[in-house]
Amino acid sequence: MPEEWQPAWQMESLPPETPREAIGGWLLFFCISLTIIAPLTWLGRIARSAQLYWTVTYGVMLIFMICAGVATWMRSDSAFTLLRLLFVSRLVYVAMQIHFGFKLQSLGRSPETVTKEFMSAATNAFNVVLWFWYFKVSTRVERTFGRNI
């Protein structure tokens, strides 16, 4: 009888799935930062924002952070997709910061204000690259999710 027609009890069983490791170490730090610490910072930005487009930008970033953080903490299958969306949205935010920095410069704002905007953009870009690299090479991520990003 062909194998696809065999009753389930006669078919070979699949090897047991390798147990996943719990969230810990830098991955735990990432989850806590993304779901608790960073949202407080972004809520402060929303409260201080005077322009609608910045308020919407901060709100979207806040939603992405919380969703990606919760999915990662829960070890959800959608975690990597949400993390990629978060990282891309953070890079778009960096591009907005750079554009805004040049706009401030063209408006004749103080060099300190312009430098602060560019430094913030550089810090955000560094964080995205660092965390993406972590999710790409970390053995903890691989043991927790069964693969890397």
Strands (E), 80-126: none
> What is the rounded radius of gyration, in angstroms, for the C-alpha atoms of the chain?
21
pLDDT of residue 11: 55
pLDDT of residue 20: 77
> Of 129, 54, 66, 127, whose CA–CA distance to 96 is shortest?
54
pLDDT of residue 115: 93
pLDDT of residue 50: 87
Q: Report in angstroms the alpha-carbon separations of 84 from 53, 78, 103.
A: 23, 10, 29
- pTM to 2 decimal places: 0.80
Cβ atoms of 71 and 29 within 8 Å: the answer is no
pLDDT of residue 38: 93
